Structure 1
Amino acid sequence: MGDAQTITKIAKAEIGYHEGRSGEHWNNHQRYSPAVPGLEWSQNQAWCATFVSWCAMKAGLAELYPRTASCLTGVSWYKQRGRFSEYPAIGAQVFFGQGGGTHTGLVVAFDADTITTVEGNTNAGGSAEGDGVYLKTRERRSSYVHGYGYPAFTEGVESADPAWKEKTPAKPTSQVVTLAPGVKPGARHPQVRVLQQLLAKAGFGPIHGAVTDLYGPETQKSVARFHDANPRYRSEGVAHDSKIGPSGFVALQKLAGRR
């Protein structure tokens, strides 16, 4: 599965989620802000950009999207990298309103006339009070559509931009490495340093005393937090599993943004 398919699948799985309510109004209290390291402060605020950041993190593509709660900051991030277009692309981040600062979402499909998006902090009726995650179909040429940020997907981007075909990046050498046999609780190994850095970057730290080659108690607690959040990678029948396995190590690297 390519990068674009991965993130669009994750975004679609969130369709139907609703934020909290208080005083008979939706209140912007949602699960995405606390789950994105660095954006915890954005709880109870407009969260459309935070939702995109969360999807990118869950897809292991955090470095390919701006981690921000600001739509304007997101537009600037793509433009600084020469990855902004007026044409849609699968997996692209679409920006709406003047300067792109009003609203944002992810493109999951497009044709000659429309774009299909998954958007957080929006609604079904079009009012100003967003309440959840929705699948939306919009007119491509609407004045409300400002433009699209193109992530640097490994497979390139599937874009409507006629000039972009020449800009499709070559497939980079993978940064994902295999787990060394000596990396286990209580042991010393140079790769433990990498493990600690990955755990912290993916949001399962902090690890007091890192960075070191000792797979000590703090590292074990951090690995257990990773397994509690991703139970498919823990040893069968082991609660709070503190031993990282080969498949879990690969998944952790991707969560931390390695490609």
Structure 2
Amino acid sequence: MLRASDVVNEAERYIGYRESGNNRTEFGKEFGWNGVAWCQIFQAIVAKRAFKKAGSPEPRAHTSALVPWTASCLNAVAWFKSRGQFSQTPKVGSQVFYGPGGGTHVELVTAVRGDSITTIGGNTAGTLNGVYHNGNGVYRKTIRRNEPKIYGYGHPRYAAEQNPVTQPIYDPPKYPGRDFKLGSKSRFLIKWQKRMSRRGWTIAADGVFGPQTLGVVRAFQRQAGLTPDGVIGPKTWAAAWSLPIT
């Protein structure tokens, strides 16, 4: 799971980014809908990239469970409200919505002080003056907490900042429903091989269960306290994601 700081740190990387042409951005391209208002798209892609950087096996799916995967601020507000995650109190990592019904614009809260919040937003400008909801890039700004344009805050359910393990732990991709052993070939096997490569093993992610994969499977099973039978069953599949990377 992601921490609020993971998302804030990722958003900070794009301060100063400017769109190309009319709402053409790398965020819209990755989202699959470019050339449209992209303030909510920016929020979704920042979370997705933070998940990917943290090692999520399925960053798109994990993002959709944490924040609304939509280009519409109104839909995003409805998403948070339907889950009981909307209030008038800002928190670091919350999404702040502006305008009637929250449908005008959205930004990420990166700091909360007594009478102000600091935010990072896409498709905006450096202030809330003028057409702040149709700017040319990613900006950081400080805003009064009693700013009348603020509608409210959506609160993603983040992991605690103090985590007892060295990195986030994610649910594994769904087990394919079949064991893999020497000679197996499957596109699902590629996911496991890629995960093992990320864990530091030398293994080709080619979907072919050859001698190299067999050696990694047995060595990993011994490391994980599993029976080293050389077969990727449900336990060996899940352990690739559930055990911390050391």
* TM-score scaled by length of structure 1: 0.61
Q: Quick one: structure 1 residues 74 and 233, their matched pair in 2 at CA, closer, same or farther if it must change by over 3 Å?
A: same
Larger radius of gyration: 2
Structure 1 residue corresponding to 2:187, chosen from 192, 202, 218: 218
Q: CA RMSD in A?
A: 3.6
**2:11 aligned residue:** 11
Q: Quick one: structure 1 residues 2 and 223, their matched pair in 2 at CA, closer, same or farther if it must change by over 3 Å?
A: closer
Helix, strand or coil at the partner of 1:6: helix
Matches within 5 A, 1:187-198: 195=173, 197=174
| Distance across 2 between alignment mates of 1:141 and 1:219 | 51
**Paired residues, what number?**
191
**1:53 aligned residue:** 44
Q: Quick one: structure 1 residues 130 and 221, their matched pair in 2 at CA, closer, same or farther if it must change by over 3 Å?
A: farther
Matches within 5 A, 1:149-228: 149-155=154-160, 176=170, 195=173, 197=174, 213-214=179-180, 216=185, 218-219=187-188
| Distance apart, 1:35 and its partner CA | 2.2
| Distance apart, 1:219 and its partner CA | 4.0
Q: Quick one: structure 1 residues 130 and 237, their matched pair in 2 at CA, closer, same or farther if it must change by over 3 Å?
A: farther
| Distance apart, 1:144 and its partner CA | 0.3
Structure 2 residue corresponding to 1:139, chosen from 117, 141, 144: 144
Helix, strand or coil at the partner of 1:28: coil
Helix, strand or coil at the partner of 1:59: helix
Matches within 5 A, 1:94-113: 94-113=96-115
CA-to-aligned-CA distance 1:153-204 (integer Å, 9 cap, x gap): 2228xxxxxxxxxxxxxxxxx9636xxxxxxxxxxxxxxxx64x59xxxxxx
| Distance apart, 1:34 and its partner CA | 3.0
* TM-score scaled by length of structure 2: 0.64
Helix, strand or coil at the partner of 2:187: helix
Paired residue type of 1:233: R
Helix, strand or coil at the partner of 1:29: coil
CA-to-aligned-CA distance 1:124-146 (integer Å, 9 cap, x gap): 26443411111111111011000
Q: Quick one: structure 1 residues 253 and 222, their matched pair in 2 at CA, closer, same or farther if it must change by over 3 Å?
A: closer
Structure 1 residues without counterparts, runs of 5 or longer: 22-26, 157-173, 178-193, 199-209, 255-259
| Distance apart, 1:213 and its partner CA | 4.4
Structure 2 residues without counterparts, runs of 5 or longer: 52-61, 162-167, 208-212, 221-236
**2:223 aligned residue:** none
Identity of aligned residues (%): 33
